[in-house]
């Protein structure tokens, strides 16, 4: 997503990552990878549960984590598009996200 931020922004998409990682872990990841979009910390998996993407006991020491997912929400917070996978390495391509965003 980082390499396509300009294209995503032009389509009205603002990427936000949410994980159970602490803010410090997310900050370190952003610094190491050069990510510039927003990362949010959800250590109790509250938001992750609201979107029904918790992967129970799949984290370190059996902690709950988020399963791979991408969502597009409109300005009212309504979910307009969802991409769910079982494989952490399989993610929506920026072109898929832009195409979906252009539909609403």
Q: How many Cα atoms occupy the beta-carbon half-sphere of 49 within 13 Å?
A: 7
- pLDDT value of residue 87: 76
Non-local (6+) Cβ contacts of 61 within 8 A are: none
Residue 24's domain comprises 2-101
pTM: 0.79
User: Comparing C-alpha atoms, which of 91, 103, 87, 90 is closest to residue 15?
Assistant: 91
How many domains in the chain? Answer: 1
- Give me the CATH number covering residue 55: 3.40.30.10
Q: Which residues of the chain have pLDDT under 50?
A: none
What was the pLDDT predicted at 89? 82
């Amino acid at each position: 997503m980082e390499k396509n931020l300009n294209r995503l922004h032009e389509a009205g998409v603002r990427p936000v990552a949410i994980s159970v990682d602490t803010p410090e872990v997310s900050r370190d990841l952003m610094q190491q990878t050069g990510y510039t979009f927003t990362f949010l910390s959800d250590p109790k998996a509250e938001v992750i549960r609201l979107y029904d993407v918790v992967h129970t006991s799949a984290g370190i020491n059996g902690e709950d984590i988020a399963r791979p997912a991408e969502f597009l929400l409109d300005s009212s917070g309504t979910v307009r598009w969802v991409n769910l996978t079982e494989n952490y390495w399989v993610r929506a391509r920026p072109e898929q996200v832009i195409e979906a965003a252009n539909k609403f």
